[in-house]
Structure 1
Amino acid sequence: MTKPIVIISGSPNATSRLNGMIDYVRHELENRGYPTKTITVVTLPADDLIQARFGSPAIVDANRLVDEASAVIIASPVYKASFTGVLKTYLDLLPQKGMENKLVLPLFIGGTLAHLLSIEYALKPVLASMGARHFIRGVYATDNQINRIQESSNETKFELNDEVTERLQASVQELIDELQLRSAAP
């Protein structure tokens, strides 16, 4: 059985355009036979996150998903030139080597291209300190590249422009190629 790919969403906003990127990647992976699991950090108990309750059942369950994953997708909006504090709070609760031997695909969205390097300078050093060594080419998008489309009732859909779609497809393919190489290795 294929190990799942875990998506960690660090967005505090349930209708964030980041969800358009996450939904696209999840759909692409699952259509190609790669199961996904999602940790939406904002839905974890706030007291457990803030008080660093490593033994909390919700934190233990989330950490188990990461531990069992073949790859981890880290998704976050960019605030103040970095990923969200919500995401950092959860990353602090992962084991010190919690990203060791994981393929990592970053997905970031920001209001401007000015924070394009936030993946390189904010996220990667934190994950490297946790053992991450193999990063898939990340995708940084700006808000104007993803349109929020209101649909029936409470469901929100997103429309990604062609450039973002092409970059996400390339990153998903790179992730799949690396997973296949790893599964073929003796």
Structure 2
Amino acid sequence: MATILSVSGSPSAASRTTGLLRHLDARLTAQGHEVVPLDVRALPAEALLGADVRHPAIAAAADLVRRADGLVIGTPVYKAAYSGLLKSLLDLLPQYALTGKTVLPLATGGTTAHVLSIDYALRPVLSSMGAAHIVQGWFTLDTDIALRPDGTVDVAPAAAEALTQAVDQFSVALGRTSLLAAAG
């Protein structure tokens, strides 16, 4: 199947966003995909903030993006937008780093007032980077994600069902994009 890069843009060590992504990674793995996790917070801050694209860790992250067939990008919402940490990484990638890729944007936040942050903040950036297909993203309230001490999560039933549908749609779209790329 496909190689998927699962990117967490959360700056927090105890992150609902990261826990939710790793929870969804398990579903994608069960569907036969190879999932590679990338926590942007693990990249060197000085390289991210200094825009050091030659730093080995930044170059390795860019290579993971290049090799991936699709990306799941998760971010907490701060000030009605995706995290600055995620922005730092996206800014260091080549302009068209997402060309030919299928992308699933996900966001977490404390209030439904931020539900449009995916469409108005994150989606335009992903589109400008050449994503072949950006599937319908999903916003999950923080209160629907219970973080366990081991970093795993429990997701409220209604949110879990919606996320399962989003991940399954991503998987189907990823398969279609892969078939088109192979035919072209």
TM-score range, shorter chain: over 0.9
Q: Match for residue 75 of structure 1? A: 74
* Equivalent of 2:155 in 157, 160, 171: 160
* CA contact 2:73–2:106 (8 Å) conserved in 1: yes
Tell me the residue number matched to 2:168: 173
Structure 2 residue runs without a partner (length 5+): none
2:178 corresponds, among 163, 169, 183, to: 183
RMSD: 1.2
**CA deviation string 1:43-63 (max 9, x = no partner):** 101111011011111111100
SS in 2 for 1:92: helix
CA drift of 1:172 comes to: 1.4
* Cα deviation, residue 19, structure 1: 2.4
Q: Would the alpha carbon gap of residues 172 and 113 (structure 1) be closer, same or farther in structure 2, given more than 3 Å must change?
A: same
Shift of 1:184: 3.4
Aligned residues: 181
Q: What is the TM-score normalised by the length of structure 1?
A: 0.93
Determine if contact 1:44/1:58 at 8 Å carries over to the other structure: yes
Other-structure match for 1:13: 12
Secondary structure, aligned partner of 1:14? coil
Quick one: distance in 2 between partners of 1:59 and 1:3? 23
- Report matched runs for 1:33-112 at 5 Å: 33-112=32-111
| Structure 1 residue 37 displacement after superposition | 0.7
Q: Conserved in 2, the CA contact under 8 Å of 1:54 and 1:93?
A: yes
Q: Aligned equivalents of 2:22 and 2:38: distance in 1?
A: 13
Deviation at 1:133, TM superposition (A): 4.0
Deviation at 1:4, TM superposition (A): 1.3
Deviation per CA, 1:8-45, whole angstroms, max 9, x where unpaired?
Answer: 11000121111232022100010111011111111101
Q: TM-score, normalised by structure 2?
A: 0.94
Per-residue deviation, residues 140-159 of structure 1 (Å, max 9, x unmatched): 01111111223xxxx23311
CA–CA separation in structure 1 for the residues paired with 2:160 and 2:63: 31
Identity among equivalent pairs (%): 39
Determine which structure has the larger helix proportion and give its number. Answer: 2
Runs of 4+ in 1 over 4 A off after TM superposition: none
- The 1:91/1:183 distance shift into structure 2, 3 A limit, reads closer
